[in-house]
Structure formats: structure tokens, C-alpha cells
Amino acid sequence: MSTTSRQPAIRFENVWKTFTHKGRQSHALQDVSLDVAPGDIFGIVGYSGAGKSTLLRTVNALERPTKGRVFVGETEISALHGPKLYAQRQRIGMVFQQFNLLRSRTVYKNIAYPMKLAGYSQEQILDRAEELLDFVGLSDKALSYPSQLSGGQKQRVGIARALATQPEILISDEATSALDPQTTTEVLDLLERVNQEYGVTILMVTHEMDAVRAIANRIAVMENGRVVEHGSAYQVFSSPSTPIAARFVSSLLQHVPDVKTLEAIRKVHRGRLVQLHVENRETNDPFLSRTARKHDVDFNIVYGGVSELEGRLFGSLTVELLGSEAQVDAAVAELGRVAQVNEVTGHA
Ligand SMILES: Nc1ncnc2c1ncn2[C@@H]1O[C@H](COP(=O)(O)OP(=O)(O)OP(=O)(O)O)[C@@H](O)[C@H]1O
């Protein structure tokens, strides 16, 4: 059978996971179907308990679906056991929030460990470990112990170890959640290099929207064991279609003022207020000043912001327009051609 579409790197097919605890059942995963394409950095976001970790752990069969199937490439990993499963697991590296390093072994030996289990020769282990230490910037720490490293350095070792057996896929469970913002950025940059330089597909679970925003090209949002929304990062950020995705996005992009903020704005700005929802704009188009100049109105940006993803702008600006009624009407009509315009009604 010939197929035109590329085979997914990971496929979840109607995956259910039910836990039974003290006679009570809870559905950690409910009918999850999702494809992760080769080369993706795929972010799964959701609040605590949404099922993210459970889903991630089905990829290397640390968790097995109650119903449904999980494929890594062409292999149905959820059906494998014993040596066949161990062999497949070499294709999948895993990075953990708490690093999970062996405390009694040096950095070098932590990285060597999975290769030893996989039967690499001493020479292969040495070569690969040296390469990876260099890649993660820790060549000078080969003989240190994990207790002598910072959190960011420990996670670099975790990533090097996950890459040891040259996996095609890296699964990352809250890899940056225990790190400060600066270190988070460094680790995310490293994950991005893993994707670009080694061509590794990354599936990352996080409750931090800024982590996925930084590097993911696709996003799935989970709630109560279900994937409620998924799409390109741009799609989900610029026009989330479910309330929970909108909440995640707005936690990061405070583009629209809440009622209290709006009241405060109204007290100061008594001109006509409009909200401009900008989507898919070229990054260098000065549409606001161009329109204002053309219709001889002044404007104040009183709230909001625009963000850039994949070279395109999106966001919301709350703008006060000042001028005669006719001029402002004409400016609003023109702005309506490039952005969705909502009048801000109500008075201070
Ligand atoms: N081994 C288990 N036994 C019983 N219930 C479990 C088990 N593992 C997970 N659960 C339950 O499954 C649901 C999903 O948990 P999961 O850890 O996948 O969520 P999560 O989105 O990763 O949240 P968190 O970020 O808090 O880990 C939760 O209700 C959790 O209590």
C-alpha cells in the first residue's frame, strides 16, 4: 500500500488509561489520538492531573494503555515486552524534572550507563560520551559527581544521558520546572539544538506555557485526560479555540485588559477606545501610524501587546483614538481591514 503522508514519529491511537485505586476508577487518559511528526518539537500543556505525564510515559511503555495503541515509527511499542521492548527503548531518550542521575557515579559514568546496558564497546562509550559532554558544554565536569553540579548542569547531564544511545525521540517531563528562569532558557536552547543538530523529535510535557512558546512548533492542550485542542504553536497562541487553551495563552500574553484595568484606563483616557486584535500581520507593517496619519487622528496605545511567532504577529492592542467623529470613524473602518476591531463600550 502506498501512502503519501509521512509516517508519524509517534502516534497515539484512541489511548485510554484507567487507574483503579481502592476500588475506585479514574480515567487518566480518555481516547487520546494524536500524531507527532518527525522533527517536531511537540509541547503538551495542561494543569496538574490532566494526564500529561501518563501520556508521555506510554511512549516508552513505562505506562501501558488500558485501551488503544501507541506507535513509535512503525513499531507498536504498547504491544512489546521483554528484550524487544528494551531494544526499542534505545530509540527513545527521556528527561525528567528531578534529573534522576545516579548520585554515586560521576557525570561521565552517568552518561556511559545506558550505553553499557545497550552493549556498546568501551571505545564507543568513550567517543560518544566525549562528544555529548562537549555538546552540552560540560567537558570539564566529566569527573564531577551530581552533588557538585547546579540544577542546570544536572539537567544538561540528564539530556546528554538521554541522547547516549542515539535516540530518534526525546520525551521530556517538566524538564525545566525545577529551574530558575535564566537556567530554563539555557536548557530550552539546548533542547532546541538537540532537535536541530541531531534531528531528534521532541515530545515535551509542561505546565509552563512560556517553555512551549519558546521552542515548540506544535502544541496539544490536555484537560481531564483528553486532548481538547491541538495545532501549530501559532494557531493555538493566536486563536485558541477552547476556554482552557485561552486561559493558558492569556496567562502568558496579557494582551486584553480585565474589567478593573479597563475601568482605570477609562478614567484617564476619554477618547474613543477600541481593541484591535491583530493576527497574521507582517512584522514590519506600521499599520497603526499609517492609518492615523491618513485620517489625521492621534492615538494612544493604552494596553496590550503583540507577540511574534514563526515570523508573524498576533496580539491585542487597546487604543484610544482622538480626533473628530468623522475622522475617527474613518480610521476605525480602515483599521477593520487589517485587524478585528472591537469597540470598548461603557463609560468611566
Ligand atoms: N500510578 C497511578 N495510580 C493511580 N492514579 C494515577 C497514577 N498515575 C497517575 N494517576 C492519576 O492520573 C491522573 C493524571 O495524572 P498525570 O500525572 O498523568 O497528570 P499530569 O497532567 O502529568 O499532572 P502533574 O503535572 O501533576 O504530574 C491524575 O488524576 C493522577 O492522580
Q: Which among 156-165, 178-187, 250-259, 286-295 has the top mean pLDDT?
A: 156-165
Average pLDDT for residues 4-18, to the nearest whole number? Answer: 90
The pLDDT assigned to 77 comes to 95
Q: Which three cell numbers stand for residue 317?
A: 492592542
Q: Enumerate residues 6+ apart whose C-beta is below 8 A from 260.
A: none
For ligand 1, residues with CB inside 6 Å are 19, 21, 26, 28, 46, 48-54, 207
> Which residue's alpha carbon is nearest to atom 12 within ligand 1?
28
Residue 346: per-residue pLDDT: 52
Closest CA to ligand 1's atom 26? 48
Residues 6+ apart with CB under 8 A from 285: 338
Residues 6+ apart with CB under 8 A from 222: 44, 45, 46, 50, 51, 52, 55, 228
What is the average pLDDT across 172-183?
Answer: 91
Q: How confident is the model at residue 2 (pLDDT cuts 50, 70, 90)?
A: very low
What is the pLDDT, as a whole number, of residue 83?
Answer: 92
Give the pLDDT confidence of 25-51 residue by residue, as tens digits. Answer: 999 999 999 999 999 999 999 988 999
Q: How far is the CA of 45 from the centre of ligand 1 (A)?
A: 14
Cell triple for 182: 535564566
Task: Please tell me the predicted confidence (pLDDT) of residue 61.
Answer: 95
Handedness of CA 60, 170, 151, 174 (dihedral sign): negative
Q: What is the mean pLDDT of the chain?
A: 90
Tell me, in angstroms, the distance from the centre of ligand 1 to residue 195's CA.
Answer: 28
Q: Whose CA is nearest to atom 1 of ligand 1?
A: 19
Predicted pLDDT at 316: 83
Ligand 1 center from residue 25 Cα (angstroms): 12
Task: Report the pLDDT value the prediction gives residue 126, as an integer from 0 to 100.
Answer: 97
CA distance 222 to 204: 13
Asked whether the whole model's pTM tops 0.90, one would answer no
CA of 208 to the centre of ligand 1 (A): 17
Position 201 scores a pLDDT of 98
Among 54, 63, 172, the mutation site with the greatest number of ligand 1 atoms within 8 A of its Cβ is 54
What is the per-residue pLDDT for 4?
A: 47
CA–CA distance, 269 with 282 (Å, rounded to integer)? 29
At 60-77, the pLDDT tens digits run: 999 999 999 999 999 999
Average pLDDT over residues 143-150: 96
Q: Is the pLDDT of residue 310 over 80?
A: no
pLDDT reading at 347 higher than 60: no
* Ligand 1 centroid to residue 51 C-alpha, Å: 6
SS (H, E, C) the chain: CCCCCCCCCEEEEEEEEEEEECCEEEEEEEEEEEEECCCCEEEEECCCCCCHHHHHHHCCCCCCCCEEEEEECCEEHHHCCHHHHHHHHCCEEEEECCCCCCCCCCHHHHHHHHHHHCCCCHHHHHHHHHHHHHHCCCHHHCCCCHHHCCHHHHHHHHHHHHHCCCCCEEEEECCCCCCCHHHHHHHHHHHHHHHHHHCCEEEEEECCHHHHHHHCCEEEEEECCEEEEEEEHHHHHHCCCCHHHHHHHHHHCCCCCCHHHHHHHHHHCCCEEEEEEEEEEECCCCHHHHHHHHHCCEEEEEEEEEEEECCEEEEEEEEEEECCHHHHHHHHHHHCCCCEEEECCCCC
Range 290-305 average pLDDT: 91
- Lowest-confidence pick of 49-58, 92-101, 241-250, 257-266: 257-266
In this prediction, does ipTM exceed 0.85? yes
> For residue 225, how far is its CA from the centre of ligand 1 (angstroms)?
9
Is the pLDDT at 189 greater than 90? The verdict is yes
Query: Which numbered atom of ligand 1 lies nearest the CA of 21?
Result: 4
Residue with CA closest to ligand 1 atom 25: 48
Q: What is the distance in A from the centroid of ligand 1 to the CA of 292?
A: 53
pLDDT higher than 70, residue 283: no
Distance CA 30, CA 224 (A): 8
The residue whose C-alpha atom lies closest to atom 14 belonging to ligand 1 is 51
Ligand 1, atom 11, lies closest to the CA of 28
How confident is the model over 245-269, as a mean pLDDT?
Answer: 80
Residue 1 clears pLDDT 50, i.e. is over it: no
**Could you tell me which residue, 292 or 263, shows the higher pLDDT?**
292
Percent of the chain with pLDDT over 90: 68
Q: Whose CA is nearest to atom 2 of ligand 1?
A: 19
Name, in order, each residue with C-beta under 8 angstroms of 310's C-beta and a sequence gap of 6 or more.
Answer: 217, 232, 233, 234
The answer to whether the CB of 181 falls within 8 A of the CB of 151 is no
Please state the atom number of ligand 1 nearest to the C-alpha of residue 54: 18
